[in-house]
Amino acid sequence: MRNIIPWEQPEKIYLGLPFSLTLLFILLTHEMAHYLTSRKHNVPATLPYFIPAPSIIGTFGAVIKMKPPIPDRRSLIDIGASGPIGGFIVAVIASIAGLHLSEVRPAEEVQDGIAFGSSLLFTFISKIVLNADPEKFDVILHPVAFAGWIGLLVTSLNLLPIGQLDGGHITYALFGEKHALISKSMIPILVVLGLVFWPGWLIWAVLMIILGYKHPPVVYPEIQLDRKRRLIGWISLVIFVLTFTPMPVQGL
C-alpha cells in the first residue's frame, strides 16, 4: 500500500481507488441486502448512506434506517442475516483477488508499520493463495486485499450477538427472550477481550452499553422459524466464528 496524502499529491488520488471502491462495494452490498430484504417483508427502510470519517479507512461504514416493528422472527432473521452474508461473499472474493496481488517478504525485512491480525478464514485463504509460512514471511497487503480484510472484520463486528446489531437480530430470531441474557453476557466478554487482546474491544463494550443490549419484540412471536431460517441463523454463526479477529491491529 502506498502512502499518498491527498491534499499534498491530489494528482495521485486515483491510487486509492482500488481500495476505496472495493471497500465501498462491500459495504454497499451489505446494506443493500438489508434494504432489499426489508422491502420484501414490507418493513420500511431507507436507502443506504455512507458515514465519512477521518480514519485509516475513511469511513465509519454504511447504514440504513428501518422503522419497527418487524412482523415475525422469520422476517427478522432474513433481514438480519442478509447483510452479513452478502457482504461476506464479496469480502471473500476481494480477499482472494487481493492476496494474489499482494507481496510476500521475509519477516526480518519488515521492521516497522502496522500489523493486522487475522481471522481463521483470512489465515486459511492466505495459506492457500500465497503458500507462505507466517512464521518466516510477512504479507504486504494489496489495497484490494486490505479492503477484503476490513470487509471480513466488519462482518464479524456486525454479527456480535448484542442488542440490535445484525447478530442481535439473528440471536433474537433464534432464541427469543433468551436474547437478553446472551446480549448481557457479551459485555463482560468484550471487556476481557479488551484487556487481553485489543483495547478497542473496551470501546465496543462501552458503545454497546450506550446503545443498549435489548431488542424490541416482533409483532407475531407465535410464528416459529422454519428449517430454512434456522439454517440461515447457524450459517451466520459459522461466519462469525470464521471472521472474528481477536486482535485486529497491533504495531510492529
pLDDT recorded at residue 2: 55
The whole-number pLDDT of residue 151 equals 96
| pLDDT at residue number 111 | 61
3-state secondary structure 132-172: CCCCCEEEECCHHHHHHHHHHHHHHHHCCCCCCCHHHHHHH
In a domain, 3, yes or no: no
Of 182, 185, 169, 179, nearest in space to 232 by CA? 169
The CA distance from 137 to 230, in Å, is 41
Q: How far apart are CA 110 and CA 133, in angstroms?
A: 15
Residue 167: predicted pLDDT: 96
Classify residue 116: in a domain, yes or no: yes
Residue pair 200/194 in contact by the 8 Å Cβ criterion: yes
* In-domain check, residue 40: yes
163: number of Cβ within 10 Å: 22
Let me know if 44 is exposed, middle or buried by CB neighbors in 10 A (0-12, 13-18, 19+). exposed
Give the pLDDT of residue 139: 85
- Nearest CA to 151 out of 17, 13, 19, 1 is that of 19
Q: Which of 244, 65, 92 is nearest to 157 (CA)?
A: 244
Q: What is the pLDDT of residue 247?
A: 94
Tell me if 30 is assigned to some domain: yes
Going residue by residue through the chain (252 aa), what tens digit of pLDDT does each one get?
Answer: 456 666 677 777 778 899 999 999 999 999 999 999 999 999 999 988 888 777 777 777 788 888 878 999 999 999 999 999 999 999 999 999 999 999 888 866 666 667 889 999 999 999 999 987 766 778 889 999 999 999 999 999 999 999 999 999 999 999 998 999 999 999 999 999 999 999 999 999 999 999 888 899 999 999 999 999 999 999 999 999 999 999 998 754
Model pLDDT, residue 104: 87
Residue 4 inside a domain? The answer is no
Cα-based angle 46, 228, 236 (whole degrees, multiple of 5):
60
Query: Looking at residue 138, what is its pLDDT?
Result: 82
The answer to whether position 95 is within a domain reads: yes
CB atoms within 10 A of CB 145: 28
Please check whether residue 2 lies inside any domain of the structure. Answer: no
* pLDDT value for 244: 97
Domain count, the chain: 1
Within a domain: 179: yes
Q: Are 246 and 198 in contact (CB under 8 A)?
A: yes
- The CA distance from 174 to 161, in Å, is 11
pLDDT at res. 156: 96
pTM above 0.75, yes or no: yes
Domain that holds residue 79: 10-251
**Gap between the Cα atoms of 164 and 118, Å rounded:** 26
